[in-house]
Structure 1
Amino acid sequence: MVTYTTAYPFRLPETSLMCVYCCESYADSAKFRQHMVSEHDTFKVETAFAHCPYEGYLKTDCTDLRCRTCGGKFTKIEDAAKHLNDAHDRKINFDFHLGIQPFKFEGEKLLCGICDRNFPCLRQLSRHMSTHYQNFTCAECGKSYTTNGSLQQHMRFTHIPDERICRRCKQTFSSLEAKREHAENSPKCWPYQCVQCAQRFIKWSAKEKHLTTVHGQATRTHSCPECNQVFTSRNSYRVHFATMHAGVNFVCSWCGRKFGTKRHLEQHTVVHTGIKLFDCTVCSKSFPRKANLAQHMWIHSDYKRFECNMCNKQFNQRVSYKSHMKAHHPEIQNY
């Protein structure tokens, strides 16, 4: 397809389009396409794949998708493939996927070439694009993945009986509780890292607060590229963009509130239904959300995550720790 059409392959190491042939990067998609026309008029599929991490698919700019032989214009990559097969006898085997992820860039809009959904940044668009190619499904929990390797990794870290593995240090634990304790007390395995001093954090919000208070970074805001509305909350910005500019509307049938994802709508719906599907296996108490159950399970844990430095009393839940500090040590402000 990249040989016979103007589907231009690129990489996304950061937030710009990188040419797979010479590794030049372009923030402006129009300049990227101009570069491909002037510098890489002849395409070699082997070279394109050699410079891309193996995912089974090439990311391609299909904004101005045309046949290189006759100049025919197409909006969908499948239509271009059918044209090449029927009009130019290119012998395309439709029993397999074409191996192309089509991106479209129309002005300031970043569009999925399959469903035409709009996104605020390239990274979010790229993550969304992979959802159209999740052909490998976990038989245990139903989650889907783009490649078999990703599925096997998921199985290893999630569904091996009586074995829990830390994704970062690969240490193995005999129980989920032991893995949680490791995650809480192993900074080297925390997922978020400060770009200034390399300190690691277990939560993204903690890292952002650290950047502001320690390194003087201005509080990050999120400006909508469509209407220039500014948000201080990343989640609020994402919901705004999804519901107002991307045509994604998961609407609560009870109160009419809109959500950016189906998962967020389902989490909200329990407010109206009161249905509690998640049961504690220890005390049989039920919860409306999986996150609520996970938090509750700490009550049954022997491991105490929080300790009062004033009286050395220990707690396994943050709410209990905070209640203790407020009742017995009100003079302590930051705890």
Structure 2
Amino acid sequence: MSASQVFSCSLCPFSYTAQIYLHKHIKRCHTDEYVRLLRSGEIRPETLAPSRSSNQQTQKPLTVPSRSTSSKVAPNPSSQQEGANDKRSHRCTQCGKSFTQEAHLKLHQRTHTGERPYHCTQCGKSFTQEGDLKQHQHIHTGERPYHCTQCGKSFTEGGSLKLHQRTHTGERPYHCTQCGKSFTQEAHLKLHQRTHTGERPYHCTQCGKSFTEGGSLKLHQRTHTGERPYHCTQCGKSFTSTGQLKTHRCTHTKEP
């Protein structure tokens, strides 16, 4: 296996350098999906086991309990859900959300407390997770450890590589249930859905005007602040948006 190969979880942003670590992550964090994969044969229990000595190899491998075929009672979906919820014994006292592991609960609680215990010694920026700090530090070191096997482009984090790979595969996994349009990123889908719902969650505190995305609000606020951060290197004229600067540059290059 190539050292640069990345195995990414389709249910959350985590990525791993080996498939066994991804499988263990699914078993630990996505129990229902793990059971489904076991039953479909996409994951075999023996692939999750560490190397065993010869006198241990005769032990029965991990199996998923199945219902008796002689039973005529159909499975109760609600009871199955209750069984799954029983495994999430660590509950947040702030919002009631529950987790399978205490470490996940502690990480979640930082969204309430604002605690960011991991600090970058280069710039002072702080993070809630050590992994986020390590990924951030790639900005300072220039390290880009995630490589695309298709074109060789490299990235500072696994999520960016996964997103980039969709430009090669054409994968658009996020679908609008209203019109069927599909997107490469969940954020793009959420933004699109506002065209159906009419939601405009970003509000200008100066005049009350609202927008569907934060970037549009930021651009609008410059009409109040007078900020013009984009400068022409030819004549020094400044603009509120990159689009305005690009249009202006055509006056120097004579491009249409």
Could you tell me the TM-score, scaled by structure 2's length?
0.43
Instruction: Decide which structure has greater helix share.
Output: 2
